[in-house]
Chains A and B, each alone.
Chain A
């Protein structure tokens, strides 16, 4: 039993962090694009901004548990199967990306406009403004966004457990919901609570370290 729980915890960790990583790889560039195409920003473009905004809202509107099922054909195409940890990574990443994009956009909005203006005055290209001004200045806020995202992903990955994703979610679902084994269910809950706390504490610590404001 202990071994099963340990394995489940490991799978949940893998799903959370790997999909968090891929979510950022997809979502952060989207967030940058969403921000710089806003009215009054460095690459103002109403059309791109509106299209992007609509697509992001669409994906955010799909309940995660439905997204998993809806994406099965695509998931099969990418990883060859629709069950297990690897298969869960696909909808988790795609589910997290638009969420991350919006969070990143908000982080950039917190960067004082004067800093962008000063960078422009110094002859920075839009790319340099993104890399040297926006991203470093938004870093503390982005770290906080990452913390929130990872915690959300812990929740999502357990939801995935109900439809064959593995991890603590599956154990909690099978032993708790199906088998009504109160002890196992509560241990799973305790483990999830511990994970959430650990991520939050680590996130706060890193955010504080990178914040020089």
Chain B
């Protein structure tokens, strides 16, 4: 479903080149939950950003659904991104929009009719259990609630893939557990493939089916969980 082939990413800063990823390959199987774990600075964030080309790899190939994203023209890349949901450590909700407005955002981007947006937003907020917060602003929500809004937003375009960038790292253990079970639910019931990166071992143990260990920009170990 997603294939990262020999990804190398270098950053140039003030004439100095630092290598964030060197020759990392990863295959993400349809329907699974793949976890990438590593200490901070290992290149996890860079790796997950290569999947939707928020970061363009210096070398390598990014294949999503059989298409090489690096070769796509800009308009097609945007269309592709709309089919890949993403959530973040710090939620990244728009403070100027209500909960409903945030969930509506990706739908507005592709000019969905208003009535359809309203219906879809309602449905999504029900799914994440926040139907009573429709008109609240994110500033009034707890961390866990914010991440639920972000999940609803990421699912708005019916993606087949969900990228989770340290999605539970800013949350307490109890909230982490509820968000993880929500992700698991999304994975099994909606058949959405998940790629998550984390530095927390218990996240991996909890929900992942495949694991890649990243250290200093290199893939050092990969294994399949058999806890089910």
Find out whether the CB atom of A122 lies under 8 angstroms from the CB atom of B81: yes
Q: Please indicate the chain B residues that have their CB under 8 angstroms from the CB of A132 in the complex.
A: 105, 108-109
Is A117 close to B, CB under 8 A?
yes
Docked-complex contact B139 and A136, CB < 8 angstroms: no
Pair A114/B108 contact, Cβ less than 8 Å: no
User: Is B78 an interface residue when CB atoms closer than 8 A count as contact?
Assistant: yes
Q: Given the complex of chains A and B, what is the CA–CA distance between A213 and B139 in angstroms? A: 6
Among B91-99, B198-206, B214-222, the stretch that binds chain A is B91-99
The reply to whether B94 and A136 contact each other, CB–CB distance below 8 Å, is yes
Q: Which residues of B contact A123 (CB under 8 A)?
A: 78-82, 106, 109-110
Interface band, chain A: 20 to 34
Please tell me if A118 contacts chain B, counting CB pairs below 8 Å. yes
Interface pair A125/B92, CB less than 8 Å apart: no
Whether the pair B94, A115 counts as a contact (CB closer than 8 A) is yes
B29 located at the interface, meaning its Cβ lies under 8 Å from any Cβ of chain A in the complex: no
Within 8 A of B (CB), among A100-136: 112, 114-115, 117-125, 128, 132-133, 136
Per the bound structure, the CA–CA distance linking A118 and B89 in Å amounts to: 11
B193 cross-chain contacts in A, Cβ below 8 A: none
In the complex, whether B209 has a CB less than 8 A from a CB of chain A is no
Question: Shortest Cβ distance from A16 into chain B, in angstroms?
Answer: 27
A139 within 8 A of B: yes
**In the assembled complex, how far is the CB of residue B162 from the closest CB belonging to chain A, in whole angstroms?**
11
State whether A120 touches B54 (Cβ < 8 A): yes
A137 proximal to B (CB < 8 A): yes
Q: What residues of A have a CB within 8 angstroms of the CB of B33 in the complex?
A: none
What CA separation (Å) do A213 and B141 show in the bound complex?
A: 11
- Do B109 and A128 touch across chains, with their CB atoms under 8 A apart? yes
Residues of A within 8 A of B105 (CB): 119, 122, 132
Given contacts A114-B88, A212-B95, A212-B96, whether A121 and B52 have CB atoms under 8 Å apart is yes
Which one of B79, B106, B163 has the greatest number of beta carbons of chain A within 10 Å?
B106
A122 with B82, Cβ < 8 A, contacts A117-B54, A136-B96 known: yes
Question: How far does the Cβ of B98 sit from chain A's closest Cβ, in whole Å?
Answer: 8
Residues of B within 8 Å of A133, CB to CB, are 94
Write the nearest CB–CB distance from A119 to chain B, whole angstroms: 8
Chain B residue contacts of A115, Cβ below 8 A: 92, 94
Give residues of chain B (63-100) contacting chain A, Cβ–Cβ below 8 Å: 78-82, 84, 86, 88, 90, 92, 94-97
Q: Which of B132-158 contact A (CB under 8 A)?
A: 137-139, 153, 157
| Residue from A123, A128, A137, A210 with most neighbouring chain B CB atoms (10 Å) | A123
- B82, B84, B95: the one within 8 Å of A213 (CB): B95
Chain A residues whose C-beta falls within 8 Å of the C-beta of B108 in the assembled complex? 132
Give A137 to B80 CA distance when docked, in angstroms: 26
B→A interface (CB under 8 Å): 52, 54, 78-82, 84, 86, 88, 90, 92, 94-97, 105-106, 108-110, 137-139, 153, 157, 163
Other A-B pairs, 20, CB within 8 Å; known A121-B81, A122-B82, A123-B79: A115-B94, A117-B92, A118-B88, A119-B105, A121-B52, A121-B84, A121-B86, A122-B105, A122-B157, A123-B80, A123-B82, A123-B106, A125-B78, A132-B105, A136-B94, A137-B94, A137-B95, A137-B96, A210-B96, A212-B139
Can you offer 19 A-B residue contacts whose CB atoms are under 8 A? A112-B92, A114-B88, A114-B90, A118-B86, A118-B88, A121-B52, A121-B54, A122-B105, A122-B109, A123-B80, A123-B82, A123-B106, A123-B109, A124-B78, A128-B109, A132-B105, A132-B109, A139-B96, A212-B139
